[in-house]
Structure 1
Amino acid sequence: MSTPDYEIRRAAATDFDGIVALLDLCGLPASDLTAQSLDGFHVAVRDAGIIGVAGLEQAGDAALLRSVAVHPRLRASGLGSRLIDASMALAQTRSLRALYLIPNDDAAHAFFARRGFKHIERSRIPEAIRGLPEFTHLCPQTHPCLWKAVSASNS
């Protein structure tokens, strides 16, 4: 396997415009993001451009895994899995207990299911997570929800 020609690193405020552009390209919500809200985000960068992103929005001892996007030309390259691995590692360092997400379509649902995320009823998701904008108004209430426990064995 060849070495990837990109770098995955923690996002910085200066990445904001590139993150929003990628999320827009991928049809994911970004209206609630600010340059200051990127603390839990990772980006994949190639030639100074953002080609992938994944973010944790922490609420108590859990987080919403959000804004997971890979440039359409790079899908199925393993980049999405590497971004999820970076998010899981960050969740472990923050001693989070679980990650929750709302996949935006069937392909995203299948991708996360392959990564060990399981279906969960919205009513079983912690109230702090359900109060985040993705749950209250950014994502359709009809979309399924997934979750995964965070533990040392998730690395």
Structure 2
Amino acid sequence: MINFKKLDSSYEDQALGLLKENNLPSEDFDLSQFHVIGALDDGRLQAIAALEIYGPNALLRSVAVNADKHKNGLGTNLIHEMIKESEKLNLSKLFILTETAEGFFTRLGFEITDREQVPTPVKQSKEFQHLCPASAVCMSLSL
């Protein structure tokens, strides 16, 4: 049975493994700096998503699902969990950069967003500046 919980540093190795398995940036991933939710099945991390918070906005990043769990709704449930968590944190807007999951995030209510409309603090994140290529699609979701 899958349980969602905020992760602490004891999950660092498993989280980094999921990011690498999904070919996602991990150089600046830091469980102590980001708000990270994990999907656990019998103590094993099956999926993660992180919020990099900038005032009322956040960059949703590091969304990764174990390959064995693809296509079974876990990613959708994880994003719904992150949206609930974002509302609890009183965030007003989520931003994401994606190269491969535009359709997935569109189905969840995210809309393509011009990078010029992204608040400056979010645009100054390492993800926007260095880790994601300019070809990545920028999307946002108002909460």
Q: TM-score, normalised by structure 2?
A: 0.95
Between the aligned partners of 1:134 and 1:34, the Cα distance in structure 2 is 13
More moved, 73-82 vs 130-139 = 73-82
Code of the aligned partner of 1:13: S
Shift of residue 12 of structure 1? 1.2
Aligned to 2:18: 22
Runs of 4+ in structure 1 displaced over 2 angstroms? none
Q: Deviations over 1:106-148 (max 9, x none)?
A: xx11100000100001111000100111100000012110000
Q: In the alignment, what sits opposite 2:92?
A: 97
- Which string of whole-angstrom CA distances, capped at 9 and with x for unpartnered residues, describes residues 6-27 of structure 1? 2111111111110000000000
Cα distance, 1:34 vs. partner? Answer: 2.3
CA positional deviation for 1:104: 2.6
Which letter does structure 1 place at the counterpart of 2:135?
A: T
Give distance in 2, aligned partners of 1:36 and 1:65.
Answer: 16
Kept after mapping to 1: 8 A contact 2:99/2:135: no
Query: What does 1:4-153 align with in structure 2 at a 5 Å threshold?
Result: 5-38=1-34, 40-105=35-100, 108-150=101-143
Runs of at least 5 residues in structure 1 that lack an aligned partner in the other structure: 151-155
Q: Deviations over 1:75-116 (max 9, x none)?
A: 1111111111111111111111100000131xx111000001
Describe the superposition over 1:54-87 as per-residue Cα deviations: whole angstroms up to 9, x where unpaired: 1111011100010111111211111111111111
What are structure 2's unaligned runs of at least 5 residues? Answer: none
Aligned-pair identity in percent equals 29
Give the aligned length. Answer: 143
Q: Higher strand proportion, which one?
A: 2
Q: TM-score, normalized by length of structure 1?
A: 0.88
